[in-house]
């Protein structure tokens, strides 16, 4: 049997620290073990492309959706729940609409995660996230 544990979430919340601690405490229970750190982007796409539940012929739409979400798991979850039962035509139409009008539910889910951070963590997050576009900081400040 192969066991995989993946942790997704907002940066700076201690995911890597938790994963390393779990690994150190549990790896001796297995004959073979491996710790992969900083798995992102192309790895997420690869994992989703070979997902058992992905519909045949939707690969390009899946890539576009992942691109729109920037690989963000929470955003993918929101859109995935919305697109799951949709036809290709509706999915394509929704993606075109998202280019013009951002999905409010994604914003709300991400805002809840942001709001759960203490003020210092929020400042660090905003410093990193808004480094290249300082105007974004006003979207998160209340």
Q: Per residue of the chain (142 residues), what is the pLDDT tens digit? A: 677 777 777 776 777 777 888 888 888 888 887 777 666 556 444 444 445 455 677 888 888 887 887 767 777 778 888 887 888 899 899 999 988 888 888 888 778 878 888 888 888 877 776 665 666 666 655 5
- Contact criterion met (CB below 8 Å) for 72 and 65: no
Determine the 3-state secondary structure of 32 from DSSP.
coil
Q: Are 89 and 95 in contact (CB under 8 A)?
A: no
Secondary structure of residue 88 in the 3-state scheme = helix
> Does the pTM exceed 0.75?
no
């Amino acid at each position: 049997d192969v066991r995989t544990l993946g942790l997704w979430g907002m940066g700076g919340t201690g995911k890597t620290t938790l994963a390393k601690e779990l690994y150190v405490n549990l790896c001796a229970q297995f004959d073979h073990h491996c710790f992969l750190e900083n798995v992102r982007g192309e790895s997420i796409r690869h994992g989703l492309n070979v997902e058992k539940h992905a519909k045949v012929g939707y690969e390009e739409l899946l890539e576009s959706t992942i691109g729109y979400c920037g690989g963000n798991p929470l955003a993918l979850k929101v859109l995935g729940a919305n697109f799951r039962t949709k036809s290709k035509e509706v999915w394509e139409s929704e993606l075109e609409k998202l280019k013009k009008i951002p999905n409010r539910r994604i914003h709300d889910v991400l805002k809840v995660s942001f709001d759960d951070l203490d003020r210092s963590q929020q400042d660090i997050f905003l410093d990193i996230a808004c480094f290249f576009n300082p105007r974004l900081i006003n979207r998160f400040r209340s």
